[in-house]
Amino acid sequence: MDLVTSLRQAGVARGDLVGLVVSPRNGLGVATAERAWPATPSAELAAPGAGPAAPGAGLTAEVGRADEVLRPRWAVWSGQTAAHLVAGGARLATCWDITAAHRLLFGGWRADPGWAWARARGLATETMPVGGPLDLFGMTGADDGDDDDPVAPDGHLRPEWVNGGWSDSTDRLARWAELARSLAEVQQAALAALADRPMALPTARSESTAELLCAELSADGLPMDRAVAEQVLCSFIGPRPRSDAEAAAARAARDAEVLRHAPAGVTADLRSPAQVRSLLARIGVDVPDTRAWRLRELRDTHPLIAALLEWRKAERIATTYGYAWLDENLGADGRLRGAWTGSDGAAGRMTASAGLHNMPAAMRRAVVAADGHVFVRADLGQIEPRVLAAVSRDQALILATRADDLYAPVAAQLGLDRPTAKVAVLGAMYGQTTGHGAQALRRLSAAYPVAMAYLDAADRAGRAGRDLRTYGGRLIVLSTTEPRTSSRAAAYGRYARNAMIQGAAAELFKMWAVTVRARCGHLDARIVLCLHDELLVHCPRERGEAVSGLVEDCLGEAAQRWAPGSGVRFISDTTIVRSWSDAKAAAVPPP
């Protein structure tokens, strides 16, 4: 009996929770409210080491068909399940990701099954059993129950199961799927119980789907032209070295471009901040540190400083984004791949390895769409103040969001020039209470009292060490046993007010991203990069205009789902380009 028929007989309807686990060796475990069962792999399952870790083309196709026909909400332990299915050619529409929901409920990064189970069930994590080899001399003879039961007598999950034993047999697969489904129900109830955070449950659903997107981003990769990438690297750090000696010579040559501006006989290790400070002192520049922003302010005072700033760009590329990085992460198919996750564990932003989130601007030239394709690049505009308007429901600030350039009406309301108004708004969200922007803070509080009160409340909570929840329900852990000096308390206050806005912005962004993922698939369009507030969608050239329009429409849809009835207008700078670097040239955002 195929999976669709089995699920129909179990009475599964659209949106119902269905537990799903995947073992490349033993197949699938599936669980509904009525029963749990294994689906074993057929003969087409690849032999060990013969291909991607997927549960056989037949089973993978069955899951994909069941997803398309019935649209259940698959309860999975983590994005690893989606990764297995993507490797086998199946992409789920939605899911309930236990890891994502756990991080929303409890904050932090740790979210392994044993930990997630214990926290959701209210068990003391201090009593969690630790996995490892049996200590025969330490055995007490106490009855530990049935090893084939994943739940020990103390209520915790057995380490053997958590550490992979769940996949040892088909019966265990079914039981593990059943546990995933039951834990998903507990998490849903806990999120629904957050009465002051009505968006917590919808946020958990979009966060879960974002984990599906992460699995796809990891598998698909970012299109990159190797030849262009090597040209960019060569322009900064010279041609690819053929030996260690050539690499050392190139490094010395880059250093020499800086040191030639030093006084005669003076040298320094440019990779040592202390020696760089001493070097700057020799040319009459006394600085407390060598941070880039400080040096940029002084770049016109001496040629050495300008050369040092250029050297730093090249050095960063050479050490982090050089030829070795390119060889390690760029596949033969012209795709740059890193491992993606839907939450950084703090504010909840999507993150990626392989430098995908910190790629130097110069390398964007090499991010080129495949032949016959284009990128639709969309970047949310002035997202932080617009999010502040939505989460605080400050009607005056909401009115300002109707303008393409929000800072213009804010400046008029404050009676200030636009640059000062912008600094004041951003300073309020980032906790900058001194300097030029702080001079406008009193006017800002008078003009937008509800928004400022929202930020001030977060600040007070942070100073006092009281945990907070973002608009979408993500726990921001601020309590600590460490002693709090006044300066440390102030830092926690600044962090709290910023995290409330950045966390909410991340929630909106992911809801937008998963909406684009759902609406643009029929146009053969796929998201290939999520960078803070920016989406990069890869699609056939002839569908670029249609995808661009849909991306804009999806922002309106996501905003309405995320902040229903708020009246806040969110905007996106959306362009169709061949290379990622072209997007910046085409965009003309407000200064």
Q: What is the mean pLDDT of residues 11-28?
A: 94
Interval 416-458: pLDDT, tens: 999 888 988 988 888 776 655 556 788 899 999 999 999 999 9
More confident residue, 52 or 413: 413
pLDDT tops 70 at residue 590: no
CATH architecture for the domain at 336-355+364-383+505-586: 2-Layer Sandwich (3.30)
Interval 451-466: pLDDT, tens: 999 999 999 999 999 9
DSSP string, 297-313: HTTTT-HHHHHHHHHHH
The SS3 of residue 151 is strand
* 265 Ramachandran zone, left/alpha/beta (phi>0; psi -120 to 50): left
- Across all residues in the chain, what is the average pLDDT? 91
Q: Is the pTM of this model over 0.85?
A: yes
Distance in angstroms (rounded) separating the CA atoms of residues 182 and 184? 5
- pLDDT band at residue 484 under the 50/70/90 scheme: confident
Interval 462-481: pLDDT, tens: 999 999 999 999 999 998 87
Burial of 139 (0-12, 13-18, 19+ CB in 10 A): exposed
Which pLDDT score, from 0 to 100, does residue 437 have?
54
- 245 vs 242, 248, 297, 322, CA distance in Å? 8, 5, 36, 16
Which pLDDT score, from 0 to 100, does residue 483 have?
80
pLDDT tops 50 at residue 93: yes
More confident residue, 100 or 43: 100
pLDDT tops 90 at residue 132: no
Which pLDDT score, from 0 to 100, does residue 423 have?
87
Q: Is residue 382 within 8 Å of 407, Cβ to Cβ?
A: yes
Q: Is residue 166 within 8 Å of 28, Cβ to Cβ?
A: no
Which pLDDT score, from 0 to 100, does residue 432 have?
72
Q: What is the mean pLDDT of residues 490-511?
A: 95
Q: Judging by DSSP bridges, how do beta strands 17-23 and 73-76 pair with one another?
A: parallel
The SS3 of residue 186 is helix
Distance in angstroms (rounded) separating the CA atoms of residues 206 and 220? 20
The yes or no reply on domain 385-500 and CATH 1.10.150 is yes
Which pLDDT score, from 0 to 100, does residue 141 have?
41
Distance in angstroms (rounded) separating the CA atoms of residues 69 and 19? 17
Which pLDDT score, from 0 to 100, does residue 206 have?
97
pLDDT tops 70 at residue 138: no
Each domain of the chain, given as residue ranges in start order, spans 3-127+154-193, 226-327, 336-355+364-383+505-586, 385-500
Interval 353-366: pLDDT, tens: 999 988 999 999 99
Which pLDDT score, from 0 to 100, does residue 41 have?
65
pLDDT tops 80 at residue 346: no
Interval 146-190: pLDDT, tens: 788 999 999 999 999 999 999 999 999 999 999 999 999 999 999
Q: Is residue 556 within 8 Å of 511, Cβ to Cβ?
A: no
Which pLDDT score, from 0 to 100, does residue 586 have?
54
Interval 35-75: pLDDT, tens: 999 987 653 333 333 334 456 678 899 999 999 999 999 99
pLDDT tops 90 at residue 584: no
Alpha helices in 353-476 (DSSP H): 383-392, 395-400, 407-414, 418-430, 441-447, 449-464
Distance in angstroms (rounded) separating the CA atoms of residues 143 and 145? 6
Element (H, E) at 341: strand 340-341
User: Could you give the strand order of the β-sheet that contains 17-23, starting from the edge strand earlier in sequence?
Assistant: 36-39, 27-31, 17-23, 73-76, 95-97
Interval 209-267: pLDDT, tens: 999 999 999 999 999 999 999 999 999 999 999 999 999 999 999 999 999 999 999 99
- 370 vs 329, 528, 582, CA distance in Å? 18, 12, 15
DSSP string, 540-587: EGGGHHHHHHHHHHHHHHHHHHHSTT-----EEEEEEESBHHHHHHH-
Which pLDDT score, from 0 to 100, does residue 45 have?
33
Q: Is residue 573 within 8 Å of 552, Cβ to Cβ?
A: no
pLDDT tops 50 at residue 591: no
Non-local (6+) Cβ contacts of 71 within 8 A are 14, 15, 93, 94
Q: Is residue 535 within 8 Å of 378, Cβ to Cβ?
A: yes
pLDDT tops 90 at residue 85: yes
Which pLDDT score, from 0 to 100, does residue 376 have?
98
pLDDT tops 80 at residue 145: no
Reported CATH class of domain 226-327: mainly alpha
CATH topology for the 3-127+154-193 domain: Nucleotidyltransferase; domain 5 (3.30.420)
> Closest Cα partner for 434 from 448, 424, 420?
424
